[in-house]
Amino acid sequence: MHFEEHIALRAHTWFRTGGAARFFCEPQCDADFQAALAFAQQHALDLLVLGAGANVLISDDGFDGLVIKPAACAMQVVLDKADTAHGLVQADAGVSIDTLIEACLDQQLTGLEDFSGIPGTIGGALFINVHYFERFIGERLVRARVLERATGQIQTVDRAWFAFGYDTSALHSRAHIVLDATFELDRANAAATAFARGRRAEIVRHRQRRYPTEGTCGSFFRNFLPEEVAFTVQGRTILSVAYYLDKLGVKGDLAVGGAVVSHQHANMLVNTGTATSADIVKLARTLQEMVRDRFGITPRPECQLLGFRADALLA
């Protein structure tokens, strides 16, 4: 197991910002993960597990610990002759979402197309319970193998163990690391598979036209929960945070340093090439303050902030 020192994390996140990791490794098997835990314990290091870096903002000070970036990327499809309706696919934590979807369609297995075009890995997707409109990836999970940070023990857990919710899972306690996951998908005939491929292509096309694809984490703020919104608009409770951000009229204009609100989507902040993480978090806080002052509600981040003070954003 090879451990590198002082690795710039900006190269490993979609925002392309952030300082360096004191130590960095890319485990490819169970033994590598366990060696990484042992190394962290030996040197009293904090741990950060980093997937594709698509939903994270790392401070300009970097991370004074060990960054683990899973590099295991094996997949296995299991088709049970007794079950003609479903198939199982097991994927390592480092497999990208798009790679998994394509491999499943090659085996005429459908059900994950909703997540087409979403950057990220399987480990990261389960951490956040990645979603597209009303669909959540946790709905397709059967089981996973996780590594307990405190002991280095590996255990197999089921879907219920994850306690999935909107933008959350049991992994947020940071007590475990996902090694691999098994999903149950639908078997499809040639026509249904072709339809799924077409739907996948349309979702990707839609995302590329509607959202920025570089220098961003995707949606910075999560949607509101029903109990967080106390008023209605034309008789409806609007939970979409983008609705309120759009009303500010700042798309493409509001900027801090090299960070700007995307002209395509008000809930996406973009590094134009010179932004620091401090620029981005200051821009996000400005948006929070504007929504709070106008509507009396405060957007909460979906993006994971690492290395910042607790008061960097409004609580």
The answer as to whether 111 is a domain residue is: yes
Q: Are residues 156 and 179 in the same domain?
A: yes
The answer as to whether 36 is a domain residue is: yes
- In CATH, what number is assigned to the domain containing residue 109? 3.30.465.10
Q: Are residues 147 and 195 in the same domain?
A: yes
Asked if residues 185 and 100 have their Cβ atoms less than 8 Å apart, the reply is no
The answer as to whether 221 is a domain residue is: no
Q: Are residues 206 and 123 in the same domain?
A: yes
The answer as to whether 312 is a domain residue is: no
Helix axes 97-106, 190-210, angle to 10 degrees: 160
The answer as to whether 188 is a domain residue is: yes
Tell me the C-alpha to C-alpha distance, in Å, between residue 8 and each of 3, 13, 59.
14, 10, 12
Q: Are residues 151 and 266 in the same domain?
A: no
Q: Distance from CA of residue 243 to its chain's centroid?
A: 22
Number of domains in the chain: 3
pLDDT in tens, the chain (315 residues): 899 999 999 999 999 999 999 999 999 999 999 999 999 999 999 999 999 999 999 999 999 999 999 998 999 998 887 888 999 999 999 999 999 999 999 999 999 999 999 999 999 999 999 998 889 999 999 999 999 999 999 999 999 999 999 999 999 999 999 999 999 999 999 999 999 999 999 999 999 999 998 999 999 999 999 999 987 788 889 999 999 999 999 999 999 999 999 999 999 999 999 999 999 999 999 999 999 999 999 999 999 999 999 999 998
Write down the pLDDT at residue 101: 97
Q: Are residues 154 and 79 in the same domain?
A: yes
Q: Are residues 79 and 202 in the same domain?
A: yes
| Nearest alpha-carbon partner for 149 in 46, 28, 10, 60 | 46
Q: Final residue of a domain: which of 68, 87, 106? A: 68
- In CATH, what number is assigned to the domain containing residue 31? 3.30.43.10
- In CATH, what number is assigned to the domain containing residue 289? 3.90.78.10
The answer as to whether 292 is a domain residue is: yes
Q: Final residue of a domain: which of 47, 68, 89? A: 68
The per-residue b/e assignment along 97-107, b for 16 or more CB within 10 angstroms, e otherwise, is bbebbebbbeb
Cβ neighbors of 48 (< 8 A, separation 6 or more) are 21, 63, 65, 66, 67, 68, 306
Q: Are residues 172 and 295 in the same domain?
A: no
Q: Are residues 88 and 109 in the same domain?
A: yes
Write down the pLDDT at residue 82: 82
Q: Are residues 60 and 93 in the same domain?
A: no
The answer as to whether 48 is a domain residue is: yes
Domain that holds residue 289: 226-306
The answer as to whether 282 is a domain residue is: yes
Q: Are residues 44 and 160 in the same domain?
A: no
Q: Which two tokens stand for residue 165?
A: 């919710």
Q: Are residues 25 and 142 in the same domain?
A: no
Residue 25 CA to residue 105 CA, distance in Å, equals 32
Residue 83 CA to residue 63 CA, distance in Å, equals 47
Q: Are residues 23 and 112 in the same domain?
A: no
pTM of the model: 0.91
Q: Final residue of a domain: which of 68, 98, 116? A: 68
